[in-house]
Chain A
Amino acid sequence: MSKAMFKMTTAFADVMPAEYVELVQSGPFGQGYGVADLGSFKELIEEHPLCAGCGLALAVRLIMASLPTPEDTVVVGSTGCSSLAFPQIALQNIHSLFGNQNAVASGLKRALKLRFPDKHKDVLVVAGDGATADIGLDMVMHSWSRGEKLATIMLDNEAYANTGGQESGMSPEGCVLYMAPTGKKFKKIALPEIARESGCAYVASVTPVQPRKLEKAVRRAILVAREVGPTYVQIFVPCPTNFKFKPQETLAKAKQREKDQTYPLREFITPEAQAYLAALEGGGKHD
């Protein structure tokens, strides 16, 4: 996709749905908008079929507002709650088989590099905790070990949320769910540490409670993945449906987990990535 494609033919402009007209007239393509500009431009996600109060939906909205160059970004997703939202997003999107997302993204990134050798084409993997830490962990870790220049984002709702509430590797120890009534017997997988040891140049765990921090992590992950190596961002997205709290309490739940250190926020940056980011951020530019 390139910005040149966002021009309608006049012959059919009168029948184009309003959503597309708004995307052309006031969308984020080529504008350099960020989270702070939300409300002043047409967002990439207009509506979604996710539950009321879904933390994942909020995170997806913030991620989409954080992309440095949405017109040159392809998202690779996987099965899970997020896959219900992606068909509504005005962005190139590939839905992979459950757990295959990083393998699919690896091939895509290499193909884009061959096809557009002089241009940054960002390949962003966005998947849930089941796809990233359980079913797709081998594909995820191997893509990191191979040094694939991908940004991997996990939307961590700590359960298999749209299949009735089974425990995942990311569920905290003792967690009781509809289909895990006796409580989880094992600890939460320490994926940020695994990512760091597997070769990721940038790793962060964040929550939507602090949108600017989330934006910074997503942008850094995408920018470092362009030049330095694989990156990983883990976003805590509380699920009111499976964890049985009111929809309006989502952010409070995330804030509480930050506060009591049961969901610690972390950031690891390799010296090479640090130098690269310092050069970019010092210059005040993102692409």
Chain B
Amino acid sequence: MTNNNKTRRITLTQFNGGMILTKYHVLAGPEGYLPPAAACQGIRLPEVGWALIEGRHVPEQEALSAIVDKLLSAKRPFFFPGPNLLWEWKDGVAEKASALRKLADTAGARVIPMPDYRPKYPMINPAIEINPNHPNLTIWHNKIDVCVFAGVHCHYANVALKIIRGGTDCYTIAICGEAGHEDANITLRNAGIPQIEALTAMVAERRRLC
């Protein structure tokens, strides 16, 4: 980590009775070996209707707009759908998966699946799959600069997002159906079909205007 990165990542926010309070910024890496979990640096999950951009709490709409910016300005955007969306294990999954695929296609992003969580190193083929234990291999191999996680179980998403922040310069976005991910650069929470369709519409509109 360079000194500049360090300065960018942690800023002083208050001087309170002799105690310096710091604010951690969840920026794209590489942050170095064993980066801290954002939660341990004081980043809280967003409330319902809110989201996180680089550790900052923002209204969901602002995060949607930021995701569109990142997707459309990326050189090699990729979507990483996880088992929750790849396998039709309950009602409603197929519809959500279709909505996400439409978003990826509209944004011109490629899709690499995470079908399960086997740590298949060294046998993994990073050109066609990603596993949460070595996500950096897939990102390096495909030179991915922006990635979107969706349908990955929380504990594995947290591990993978932290590894990506530690070892790559990839910007991470989590479209999370649960409470969100502090370790993503941008995270939504309770993201369902309405949020995904809103993103698709915004991407399509922005492309139309360009």
Is the CB of A11 closer than 8 A to any CB of chain B? yes
Whether the Cβ atoms of B97 and A15 lie closer than 8 Å is: no
Output the least CB separation between B38 and chain A (Å).
Answer: 27
Whether the Cβ atoms of B118 and A87 lie closer than 8 Å is: yes
Whether the Cβ atoms of B87 and A49 lie closer than 8 Å is: no
Q: Does more than half of chain A's interface fall in helix, strand or loop, or is it mixed?
A: mixed
Is the CB of B120 closer than 8 A to any CB of chain A? yes
Compute how far the CA of A11 lies from the CA of B115 in the bound complex, rounded to whole angstroms.
13
Write out the residue numbers on chain B whose beta carbons fall within 8 Å of the beta carbon of A4: 89
Is the CB of A256 closer than 8 A to any CB of chain B? no
Render B92-122 as a binary contact track against A, CB cut-off 8 A, 1 for contact.
Answer: 0110011011000000000111011011111
Is the CB of A10 closer than 8 A to any CB of chain B? yes
Whether the Cβ atoms of A8 and B118 lie closer than 8 Å is: no
Render A67-108 as a binary contact track against B, CB cut-off 8 A, 1 for contact.
Answer: 000000000000000000001111001000000000000000
Known: A10-B98, A20-B115, A87-B119. 10 other contacts (CB 8 A): A5-B89, A8-B86, A8-B87, A10-B97, A11-B97, A12-B97, A15-B113, A16-B113, A16-B115, A87-B118
Which chain B residue lies CB-closest to A93? Answer: B118
Whether the Cβ atoms of A47 and B123 lie closer than 8 Å is: yes
- The answer to whether A7 and B87 touch (CB under 8 A), given A15-B112, A88-B118, is yes
Is the CB of B51 closer than 8 A to any CB of chain A? no
Is the CB of A117 closer than 8 A to any CB of chain B? no
Output the least CB separation between B52 and chain A (Å).
Answer: 26
By Cβ-Cβ distance, the 4 closest A-B pairs, closest first, are A9-B97, A11-B101, A11-B97, A11-B98
Which chain B residue lies CB-closest to A14? Answer: B111
Whether the Cβ atoms of B87 and A5 lie closer than 8 Å is: yes
Compute how far the CA of A42 lies from the CA of B150 in the bound complex, rounded to whole angstroms.
29
Is the CB of A268 closer than 8 A to any CB of chain B? no
Write out the residue numbers on chain B whose beta carbons fall within 8 Å of the beta carbon of A20: 115
- The answer to whether A12 and B118 touch (CB under 8 A), given A7-B87, A17-B129, A47-B123, is no
Is the CB of B55 closer than 8 A to any CB of chain A? no
Whether the Cβ atoms of B113 and A7 lie closer than 8 Å is: no
Chain B residues touching A, range: 20 to 34
Q: Which A residues are within 8 Å of any B CB, using their own CB?
A: 4-12, 15-17, 20, 47-49, 87-90, 93
Is the CB of B48 closer than 8 A to any CB of chain A? no
Is the CB of B81 closer than 8 A to any CB of chain A? yes
Which chain B residue lies CB-closest to A23? Answer: B115
Whether the Cβ atoms of B93 and A9 lie closer than 8 Å is: yes
A–B pairs, 10, beta carbons within 8 Å: A9-B88, A9-B97, A9-B98, A12-B97, A15-B112, A16-B115, A17-B113, A87-B118, A88-B118, A89-B118
Write out the residue numbers on chain A whose beta carbons fall within 8 Å of the beta carbon of B129: 17
Compute how far the CA of A4 lies from the CA of B112 in the bound complex, rounded to whole angstroms.
23
Whether the Cβ atoms of A12 and B112 lie closer than 8 Å is: no
Write out the residue numbers on chain A whose beta carbons fall within 8 Å of the beta carbon of B87: 5-9
Interface residues of B in 145-197 (CB under 8 A from A): none
Write out the residue numbers on chain B whose beta carbons fall within 8 Å of the beta carbon of A90: 116, 118
Which chain A residue lies CB-closest to B128? Answer: A17
Which chain A residue lies CB-closest to B89? Answer: A5
Whether the Cβ atoms of B86 and A9 lie closer than 8 Å is: yes
Write out the residue numbers on chain B whose beta carbons fall within 8 Å of the beta carbon of A16: 86, 113, 115
Compute how far the CA of A203 lies from the CA of B47 in the bound complex, rounded to whole angstroms.
56
Output the least CB separation between B107 and chain A (Å).
Answer: 15
Compute how far the CA of A16 lies from the CA of B116 in the bound complex, rounded to whole angstroms.
11
Is the CB of B27 closer than 8 A to any CB of chain A? no
Interface residues of B in 58-110 (CB under 8 A from A): 81, 85-89, 93-94, 97-98, 100-101
- The answer to whether A11 and B94 touch (CB under 8 A), given A49-B123, A88-B123, is yes
